[in-house]
Amino acid sequence: MGYPGKNTKQYSSPKRRFEKARIETERVLAINYGLRNKREIWRANEVLKKHRSGAREVLAMVSSLGETEKTVARRDELLGTLQRYGLIGANAAMDDVLSLKVEDILERRLQTIVYRKGLARSPKQARQLITHGHIAIAGQRVSVPSYMVSVSEEASIAYYATSSFADEANGERQRIMNQNQRA
């Protein structure tokens, strides 16, 4: 066990550093989702790996032990977590967990949801609004663009009450609303 205050790496870098196809797909993802760097994609890959390995572990437990209380509880826990974050549907099975993609994880980030709800003109601006403290979830300010938004929290995303964007007469907010009406 290391020093508790020391940050640990939450991602693993690619094994082949200069693979052209991977670099191109990462570049497209970074542009589409307004990511700061490739590490955010790699972190989403780690989250995806964790969920997939959990699904494979449950499938292995079912094939070796059968449908025991432990396997059913583990399966329900994994599916419940993924359903809470809106990554899979209500009637999902383990195959749906194994078929998740990085885009599914990136779609549930606060930055992406703020942009999709029309609170920002671009994913980059959504990131800026979040880090500057203009966005709140259920009245609570959130300043982390990579925050994973659950389905229950999604409806309560709005501008922070004391933010200048909360005022309808704000010039930038007017430009955002005009752009959304044109689209």
pLDDT of residue 29: 97
pLDDT cut 90: percent of the chain above it: 85
Q: Which amino acid is at 17?
A: R
Token code pair at residue 84: 């809470």
**pTM given for the model:** 0.90
Band of the pLDDT at 1, cuts 50, 70, 90? low
pLDDT of residue 103: 97
Closest CA to 98 of 156, 128, 55: 55
pLDDT of residue 6: 82
DSSP string spanning the chain?
A: ---TTS--------SSTT-HHHHHHHHHHHHHHT-SSHHHHHHHHHHHHHHHHHHHHHHHHHHHH-S-HHHHHHHHHHHHHHHHTTSS-TT--HHHHHT--HHHHHHTBHHHHHHHTTSSSSHHHHHHHHHTT-EEETTEE---TTPBPPHHHHTTEEE-TTSGGGSTT-HHHHHHHHHHHH-
Q: Is the separation of the CB atoms in 112 and 123 below 8 Å?
A: yes
Q: What angle do CA 45, 106, 74 make, to 5 degrees?
A: 60
Q: What is the mean pLDDT of residues 32-57?
A: 96
Q: How far apart are CA 74 and CA 76, in angstroms?
A: 6
